Structure 1
């Protein structure tokens, strides 16, 4: 049990530094100083900085399946499931240091001397499943191909994250995501009413903070709402 707690503490400390400084800008010595553990303890649990980075990325990927299943099994239309899931994922990227660090590390994967899992592929699959379900129930416009649309939706979602992170550290990600869905749903829905769908989702998944409230603490190690697969 103590070994598990130590491994988790080291992983979260490393994630904080990887998120703030990137892979190249973080050393085992930095992790040792911030965690209060010796370098020897770090190497005991994680044989190298590369292995520690891999563990952070794998933890990022391990965060998603249960979260996805909860949304996918909800008793609501498929498009509402998809939009609700997107807001939950957006909040995890904003608020969970391990999720953020895993994303940054993958972007820097060429500098890491160990293979990392491939992102996005499973996300495209999940979105395609939900859009296919929406199509089967008449929610989707007849001209929309669920598989092709899934690829475009995932590109738009993660492109939004990249820009939001660069401009304001994802502080306004929910507002920006709301704007994106107003645009996308106008093309996806069989009977377009994006505002009404977003209002229903917002009622079930209210914002994590009030619009004028304080920004979330992005430095403290934390957990996503559930458990990141190669998504």
Structure 2
């Protein structure tokens, strides 16, 4: 094995180990010694890739920073319409929060570590961009109410999604996130979607 693939594998192992430790101990409670032990590398090897615990946290966040874009592109291929794609995107992301360690830990880091404020800002801007793109497509296809302001609506969708996550996390450890999203969309869609589009929408995960 050449040095470059070996280095890439070491980096992936460190990210996974850090995610497991952050998930178990929280960012504040985690230490690099534990991360190195789980990844089976020396501290010297860790410092070749990440200079600090904060750098590991940023890398985990950035590892899934393109997830919303990837999910949007994947879901659009089904040609179910932009609004349905937006709804399904939220359910799929909720599923990833439960099943994908890196996504779950990244989301947790954005909430709990003040150091990541700047990274969080970039994440939210990226999410708003994805939602805004879908709403623009929905408007072009006549799926939205005429009075909807795309910029404000995109920001509101992201804010509502984050709020639903936080409420679910606080009250049930996110065990009821899907049902909360279902109620959210049933309440909010009539304020966003044209009346002729509304009956064809599905407010449940596939």
**TM-score scaled by structure 2?**
0.85
Q: Which residue of 2 aligns with 1:68?
A: 72
Q: What displacement does 1:78 show?
A: 1.4
> 5 Å matches for 1:75-86?
75-86=79-90
Unaligned runs of 5+ in 1: 207-231
Query: Which of 25, 28, 49 is residue 24 of structure 1 equivalent to?
Result: 28
CA distance in 2, matches of 1:130, 1:111: 31
In the alignment of these two chains, the number of paired residues is 201
1:222 is aligned to: none
SS of the residue 2:178 aligns to: helix
Residue in structure 1 matched with residue 175 of structure 2 by the alignment: 171
Larger relative contact order (CA 8 Å, sep ≥ 6): 1
Partners of 2:76 and 2:179 in 1: how far apart? 23
Secondary structure of the equivalent of 2:47?
helix
Q: Is the 8 A contact 1:164 1:170 kept in 2?
A: yes
Deviation at 1:181, TM superposition (A): 0.5
Change in 2 beyond 3 A, CA 1:189/1:63: closer
User: Is the helix fraction higher in 1 or 2?
Assistant: 2
Please report how far the alpha carbon of residue 161 of structure 1 lies from its aligned counterpart in structure 2 after TM superposition.
Answer: 0.9
Partner of 2:37: 33
Q: 1:121-160 maps to which residues of 2 (within 5 A)?
A: 121-160=125-164
Structure 1 residues 39-73: Cα deviation after superposition (integer angstroms, max 9, x where no partner) = 33322332222221221111121333322222234
- Match of residue 119 from structure 2: 116
Note if contact 1:182-1:195 (Cα within 8 Å) is conserved in structure 2. Answer: no
Checking the alignment, whether the CA contact within 8 Å between 2:69 and 2:130 is kept in structure 1 is no
TM-score with structure 1 setting the length: 0.76
Q: Would you say the 8 A contact 1:77–1:134 is kept in 2?
A: yes
Q: Give the match's secondary structure for 2:65.
A: helix
Q: CA deviation at 1:109?
A: 4.2
Matched, 1:187 2:177: no
Q: Does 1:90 align with 2:94?
A: yes
The answer as to whether partners of 1:181 and 1:194 remain within 8 angstroms in 2 is no
